């Protein structure tokens, strides 16, 4: 296979406060809304105050069933986006592996996945163009993701 047949690795950026996922993957550009944390992206629940709240990146998911408390958005930093897989609970999803040195605030196992009844406990959940994004991540064999609090590099705390 020559270089012209290989799509460049994905290069994505997520801005928590604005809920924006932008960048390129599989030779396509993306600019779409995506929720993180607090049941964001749920098809049945109303998002909580922790959804897309940069102050709540350390909020851990707790409890089960009616005692479940949704976690906040994923922690800031750099992640490797793995090629999408068929996850047994999330459906088609791409694992987000934190870079060494990320302060994960005791949290783990974040994915880029589609909307569903539960929504997000910190994963990134695009509200549109999900299939197109997953196809592009598949073509590019994953890539990188940078997570910031807000556009322009603003810091909240």
Asked whether the predicted pLDDT for residue 2 surpasses 90, the reply is: no
Asked whether the predicted pLDDT for residue 29 surpasses 50, the reply is: yes
* Residue from 114, 100, 106 nearest 41 by CA: 114
Contact 145, 13 (CB under 8 A): yes
* Residue from 27, 31, 36, 32 nearest 79 by CA: 36
The model's pLDDT over 62-100, given as tens digits with 9 standing for 90+, comes to: 999 889 999 999 999 999 999 999 999 999 999 999 999
Helix, strand and coil content of the chain, in percent to the nearest 5, comes to 15, 35, 50
The model's pLDDT over 45-58, given as tens digits with 9 standing for 90+, comes to: 999 999 999 999 99
* Confidence at residue 157, expressed as pLDDT on a 0 to 100 scale: 63
Please state, in angstroms and rounded to a whole number, the distance separating the CA atoms of residues 121 and 35: 10
Arithmetic mean of pLDDT, 147-151: 95
Please state, in angstroms and rounded to a whole number, the distance separating the CA atoms of residues 131 and 105: 30
Work out the number of other CB atoms within 10 angstroms of the CB of residue 78: 14
The model's pLDDT over 111-147, given as tens digits with 9 standing for 90+, comes to: 999 999 999 999 999 999 999 999 999 999 999 999 9
Arithmetic mean of pLDDT, 5-31: 93
Enter the tokens of residue 78: 């750099």
CATH 2.40.440.10 for domain 10-59+69-150, yes or no, is yes
Arithmetic mean of pLDDT, 107-111: 97
* Confidence at residue 1, expressed as pLDDT on a 0 to 100 scale: 44
Q: Which helix (H) or strand (E) holds 29?
A: strand 28-36
Contact 55, 76 (CB under 8 A): no
Instruction: Give residue 152's pLDDT band: very low, low, confident or very high (50, 70, 90).
Output: confident
């Amino acid at each position: 296979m020559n270089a012209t047949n290989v799509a460049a690795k994905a290069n994505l950026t997520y801005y928590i406060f604005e809920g924006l996922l932008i960048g390129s993957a599989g030779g396509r550009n993306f600019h779409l809304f995506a929720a993180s944390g607090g049941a964001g992206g749920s098809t049945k629940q109303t998002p909580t105050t922790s959804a897309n709240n940069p102050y709540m990146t350390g909020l851990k998911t707790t409890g089960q069933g009616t005692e479940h408390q949704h976690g906040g958005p994923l922690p800031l930093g750099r992640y490797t986006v793995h090629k999408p897989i068929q996850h047994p609970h999330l459906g088609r999803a791409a694992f987000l592996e934190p870079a060494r040195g990320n302060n994960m605030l005791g949290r783990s196992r974040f994915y880029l996945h589609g909307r569903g009844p539960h929504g997000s406990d910190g994963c990134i959940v695009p509200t549109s163009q999900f299939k197109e994004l997953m196809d592009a991540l598949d073509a590019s064999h994953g890539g990188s993701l940078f997570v910031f609090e807000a556009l322009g590099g603003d810091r909240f705390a």
